Structure 1
Amino acid sequence: MEQHLSLYRIFYTVANTGNISQAAKQLYNSQPAISKSISRLEESLGVTLFSRSSRGVALTEEGRILYQHVRAAFEAIDTGEEQIRRMTALDMGNLHIGVSNTLCKFVLLPYLQSFIEAYPHIKILISCLSSNQTLALLDSGKIDIGLVAHPGSLRTLDFYSLGTIQDIFVSSPAYLANLDLRPEEMNNGRQLFEKGTLMLLDKHNMTRQYIDDYLTTNHLQTHHTIETTSMELLIEFAKIGLGVGCVIKEFVQEELKKGQLIEIPLDIPIHRREIGFTYIKKRRQEKAVQHFIDFYKSIKEN
């Protein structure tokens, strides 16, 4: 097939012009060379593709069948080339981002709004995934960029920090009142975790794994837990008094300010975590991806 591509181009041009002389001019070739190429293709297929006359050439029945397919193929190629030219001219392209629901809502959306204004022709696909899933898809090349908490070991990844976040435990004032804990039992959270219901993300989530390590390291026991896949649900559950939720402090500032939620004091605070954009390093990035990388770096630096 590969060795016949040039022959099919010649066949397509001759069929369009109906004249070997005109085809030769369009292809910047000689008439004998065009005639020889058509003969080679006919010999290869074992059929006659053109009937010749003094007025030019006309497709045979076999030629018309082949022409239908060849025309569709070359029209598809022309369409692809035109789309690439438009992408280059208009900064079009595709950008596939992996991000958790929480980071998408509170961190990614402000970047996207400004980016779309600057590059309205880039097609953006968002996959809402856990950080672990995002890293796995990045590693396999199925997404372009991930927004995640720092994974610890970067391996083949580049990581561009957007700052740090603080994990905290919160509950509603009514829930704390119903637990009837003495002030000293509140101050380190130990009795609160043992008596109350602790609400956490599911065990496949990187945040949950981080919090489990904290609880184990500090010998904090939990007896009643609720798991969910969404931090937004944890926040809402905590607001209605369902239990003590582990949330990101930066994302509940309004609730803390209004007194809808109360931060549980801990004698040993949870270490802050770094979040940022990550992508496979040393890989040639598509134009749309490089635009996004350059864009968020310029926003952060300014």
Structure 2
Amino acid sequence: MFDVYKLQVFAQVAQAGSFSGAAERLFMSQPAVSQHMKELEAALGVQLFRRGRRGVSLTAEGHALYDYARRILALVAEAESAVLNVANLADGRLNVGATPGVSAYLLPEWIRDFHERYPQLVVTAQTATTPEIAEQLIGRQLDLGFIEGDLDAADASRLSAEVLCDVPQYVLVGPKHPLWAREAVALRELDGQAFIMRQPGSRSRLWLDRILETHGARPRVAAEFDNPEAIKRSVMVGAAIGVLPAYAVRAELQTGALRALHIDVPLTRALQAVWEKSAPLSPIARAFLAFADACVHAVHARRPHASAGLYARATTRTAQAARTDFNIVVNEGGRSAAQDHTSTQTS
């Protein structure tokens, strides 16, 4: 019916009490102001001003419109300010989803560093499976997601992905396990061994089941959990094997509470950031992704590449993110081991 600019002109005429006064305020010609008001009155089908020798005054209809015009113009100014604040990272909220391991062991550090730099921004985080994260990104319920492994083909066609790094997956045993004293184990030797597994249907479980089956190892499932922390604790106190990402067991490998077995099969999964493809990342999402990427590569940089018992490498960047490994320093006597991992997996 009418645009915001005409409302601005109308409000200035009402405040100045004349077309000439409004023209001066708006740096316009008086005929241009008059034309805008004629068009506004024609669009509404009412007379907004009484014309007199000393200027103009509002009609009853004009007073009604002026009340709304002030509120509308105030909201427009507020909206412009909010948009600029978000663009300048002065205000805003980010909704992030992450798979269980990322949520438990990586996301807290990323959020901490992000909040130190941008204390005025709010990050809302939730833990979900890869399919759930994909669904919520497509439905615009999440702004950014972090997963391990790959997306389904259907989801991959609708989401953008950036690989942050390759994360080694360690085959772990506790001090009570018979394999604790072994330095190297072939994957096929794990046939019939008791395993602490992720819940059936999870991407981590599907990936591990396929790897074990491919190499002739059929595990005996001792317990199933929906989070990596429970798996880790169970392996530490029991006599079953677990497979977890390197970042989840850094402290335990360094203290000797767990041991990562040397395996003849490379095991890694890609840590990826994902977002809805049809819309560009918001300034807040871009900033958070940059912090996550920096945290990942700070872990890599802190480790001396030439140290005995440490294997660290950087591979080609994909989608502007270097793929590096979360590798673990080996304790004296080989109580934990880092491995060269280059396999392709699903999430």
- TM-score bracket, shorter-length normalisation: 0.7 to 0.9
Is residue 159 of structure 1 aligned with residue 162 of structure 2?
yes
**1:215 shift after superposition:** 2.7
5+ residue gaps, structure 1: 178-183
CA contact (8 A) 2:167 2:246 kept: no
Instruction: Classify 1:212/1:279 alpha carbon distance in 2 versus 1 (closer, same or farther; 3 Å).
Output: same
CA contact (8 A) 2:97 2:126 kept: yes
User: Which of 197, 200, 212 is matched with 1:200 structurally?
Assistant: 197
Q: Which residue of 1 aligns with 2:217?
A: 220
Measured in 2, the distance between the counterparts of 1:22 and 1:131 equals 61
CA contact (8 A) 2:93 2:123 kept: yes
**1:94 shift after superposition:** 4.6
**1:79 shift after superposition:** 1.0
Is residue 65 of structure 1 aligned with residue 64 of structure 2?
yes
Instruction: Classify 1:105/1:54 alpha carbon distance in 2 versus 1 (closer, same or farther; 3 Å).
Output: same
Is residue 168 of structure 1 aligned with residue 168 of structure 2?
no
Instruction: Classify 1:224/1:101 alpha carbon distance in 2 versus 1 (closer, same or farther; 3 Å).
Output: closer
1:128-162 per-residue CA deviation (whole Å, 9 max, x = no partner) reads: 22234334545666544432224177766342333
Q: Which residue of 2 aligns with 1:181?
A: none
**1:232 shift after superposition:** 1.7
TM-align CA RMSD = 3.7
Measured in 2, the distance between the counterparts of 1:292 and 1:18 equals 50
**Counterpart secondary structure, 1:69:** helix
Q: Which residue of 2 aligns with 1:77?
A: 76
Q: Which residue of 2 aligns with 1:24?
A: 23
**Counterpart secondary structure, 2:193:** helix
CA contact (8 A) 2:164 2:293 kept: no
**Farther-moved stretch of structure 1 (58-67 vs 82-91):** 82-91
For 1:56-205, list aligned pairs within 5 A. 56-88=55-87, 92-138=91-137, 143-151=142-150, 157-171=160-174, 173=176, 176=177, 188-193=189-194, 198-205=195-202
Instruction: Classify 1:69/1:227 alpha carbon distance in 2 versus 1 (closer, same or farther; 3 Å).
Output: farther
Instruction: Classify 1:229/1:70 alpha carbon distance in 2 versus 1 (closer, same or farther; 3 Å).
Output: farther
CA contact (8 A) 2:100 2:227 kept: yes
Measured in 2, the distance between the counterparts of 1:151 and 1:27 equals 56
Q: Specify which structure has the higher proportion of helix.
A: 1
Q: Which amino acid aligns with 1:202?
A: Q
Aligned residues: 286
CA contact (8 A) 2:190 2:218 kept: no
Q: Which residue of 1 aligns with 2:267?
A: 271
Instruction: Classify 1:4/1:191 alpha carbon distance in 2 versus 1 (closer, same or farther; 3 Å).
Output: closer
**Counterpart secondary structure, 1:29:** coil
**Counterpart secondary structure, 1:166:** strand
Q: Which residue of 2 aligns with 1:180?
A: none
**Farther-moved stretch of structure 1 (266-275 vs 123-132):** 266-275
Q: Which amino acid aligns with 2:270?
A: E
**Counterpart secondary structure, 2:106:** helix
Q: Which residue of 2 aligns with 1:48?
A: 47
Instruction: Classify 1:222/1:122 alpha carbon distance in 2 versus 1 (closer, same or farther; 3 Å).
Output: same
Instruction: Classify 1:32/1:44 alpha carbon distance in 2 versus 1 (closer, same or farther; 3 Å).
Output: same
Q: Which residue of 1 aligns with 2:228?
A: 231
Q: Which amino acid aligns with 1:37?
A: H
Measured in 1, the distance between the counterparts of 2:38 and 2:168 equals 72
Measured in 2, the distance between the counterparts of 1:40 and 1:267 equals 79
Instruction: Classify 1:40/1:250 alpha carbon distance in 2 versus 1 (closer, same or farther; 3 Å).
Output: closer
CA contact (8 A) 1:168 1:248 kept: no
**Farther-moved stretch of structure 1 (162-171 vs 282-291):** 282-291
**1:298 shift after superposition:** 5.4
What TM-score, normalized by structure 2, do the two folds share? 0.66
CA contact (8 A) 2:86 2:283 kept: no
Instruction: Classify 1:167/1:136 alpha carbon distance in 2 versus 1 (closer, same or farther; 3 Å).
Output: farther
5+ residue gaps, structure 2: 179-184, 302-347
**Counterpart secondary structure, 2:57:** strand
Measured in 2, the distance between the counterparts of 1:170 and 1:246 equals 9
Give the % identical residues.
22
